[in-house]
Amino acid sequence: MNIQDKDPIIEAHDLTVTYNRKPALWSVDFLLPKHKLIGIIGPNGAGKSTLIKSIMGLVPLASGYVKIFNQDLDDVRSKISYVPQRGSVDWDFPASVLDVVLMGRYGKNKLFKRSNKKDREIAMQCLEKVQMLPFVNRQIAQLSGGQQQRVFIARALAQNADLYLLDEPFAGIDAASEDAIFRLLQDIRSEGKSIMVVHHDLQSAARFFDWILLLNTRLVAVGPKEKVFSENLLNETYGGKLTVLSDLGDIMKEQDMPARENK
Ligand SMILES: Nc1ncnc2c1ncn2[C@@H]1O[C@H](COP(=O)(O)OP(=O)(O)OP(=O)(O)O)[C@@H](O)[C@H]1O
Ligand SMILES: [Mg+2]
């Protein structure tokens, strides 16, 4: 056991989640280290959102447990910021962009609490970071999908959490903005935060993540990107259906990674 294993940000043991008796996650075990940008990678229906929800206590567990900062969820909830996958959120509620980001400052149950100057300053700074400051007074429903997504990332940043769980935060976001936000996430990682991101694009995954967790109902692999991002393991994750596998050689070369797993 190394030092990282002794002080994980998240520990999952024998995690099984079923919907109508069909497993979405099957006996998943892992330890994730602190202060990393971690990608959750796997095909549609692999259980990625279910994994994030099980960490957030939003789905009943058929077996197993999750510990966060070595504690139970209820003791650390305020230190966690969760951005659900688009489509699971009602984006049409009546609130301005500023209101939405301010929610990150007081928690969603206290929306109508009066904000103070400091809260508003922080909210504006977070909007600036995702380049949404010009839209501060716009209704959230009147933004494009990618713009809404950036506002929700700003809300998560405003929460100043220690652990961020982002479920496909880049859905609908253009490549330039995605790069900028990935760099932002790398910055907050360097400030000592831990970030888990469900993500689909292998190219940007290889560029930006420190660690990768490969999931397909079962855990396929978890570890530093250099170890996990291999043709064999990605093939196993995608059941050989990965059409972009042909590009993988280029990604590996670019990243200076071994094309095959070192056994
Ligand atoms: N509330 C639910 N009721 C029944 N089945 C569900 C429910 N939520 C998810 N599932 C099923 O569980 C499996 C895992 O779903 P999950 O949403 O975790 O996948 P995912 O990896 O996030 O996929 P995607 O990449 O499409 O977001 C899928 O087969 C899905 O159909
Ligand atoms: Mg999902």
Q: What is the pLDDT of residue 92?
A: 72
Percent of the chain with pLDDT over 70: 84
What integer pLDDT is reported at residue 245 of this predicted model? 56
Q: Which domains does the chain have, with CATH numbers?
A: 3-255 (3.40.50.300)
Q: Give, in order, the Cα–Cα distances in Å from 6 to each of 81, 90, 139, 249.
A: 23, 39, 46, 35
Predicted local confidence at residue 176, as pLDDT = 87
Distance between CA atoms of residues 70 and 137, nearest Å: 40
**How many angstroms is it from 49 CA to the middle of ligand 1?**
7
Residue 223 is predicted with a pLDDT of: 97
What digits encode the pLDDT tens for the residues 59-89?
999 999 999 999 999 999 989 999 888 766 6
Q: What is the pLDDT of residue 105?
A: 86
For residue 216, the CA-to-ligand 1 centroid distance in Å is: 11
Mean pLDDT for the stretch of residues 131-149: 92
pLDDT at 261 over 50: no
User: Which pLDDT band, with edges at 50, 70 and 90, does 140 fall under?
Assistant: very high
Contact 69, 242 (CB under 8 A): no
Q: What is the mean pLDDT of residues 213-235?
A: 94
Ligand 1 centroid from CA 47, angstroms: 6
pLDDT surpasses 70 at 255: no
Sequence-distant (6+) residues with CB within 8 A of 226 are 255, 257, 258
Q: Which residue has the higher pLDDT, 85 or 27?
A: 27
Report field, pTM of the whole predicted structure over 0.85: yes
pLDDT tens per residue, range 106-137: 764 455 566 788 899 999 999 999 999 999 99
pLDDT in the model for residue 146: 85
Least confident range of 21-35, 110-124, 215-229: 110-124
The protein residue with its alpha carbon nearest to ligand 1, atom 27, reads 44
Question: Which runs of consecutive H residues, i.e. helices, occur in the chain?
Answer: 3-6, 48-55, 73-76, 97-106, 117-129, 145-158, 175-190, 202-208, 225-228, 231-237, 245-255
Alpha-carbon span 119 to 129, nearest angstrom: 15
Closest CA to 230 of 195, 208, 257, 203: 257
pLDDT band at residue 263 using 50, 70 and 90 as cut-offs? very low
Choose among 182, 168, 84: nearest CA to 130: 182
Ligand 1 pocket, residue 44 CB under 6 Å: yes
19 lines ligand 1 (CB under 6 A): yes
**Mean model confidence pLDDT for the chain:** 87
Radius of gyration in angstroms for the set of CA atoms belonging to the chain, rounded to a whole number: 19
> So what's the pLDDT on residue 104?
87
Distance CA(45)–CA(217), nearest Å, equals 8
pLDDT at residue 173, as a whole number: 86
How confident is the model at residue 215, as a pLDDT? 97
**CA–CA separation, 129 and 126 (whole Å):** 5
Residue 43 alpha carbon, nearest atom of ligand 1: 25
Distance in Å, CA 23 to ligand 1 centroid: 10
Instruction: Say yes or no: CB of residue 59 within 6 Å of ligand 1.
Output: no
Q: Is 242 a residue whose pLDDT tops 80?
A: no
Task: Give residue 17's pLDDT band: very low, low, confident or very high (50, 70, 90).
Answer: very high
The terminus-to-terminus CA distance of the chain in angstroms comes to: 20
- Beta partners for 22? 19
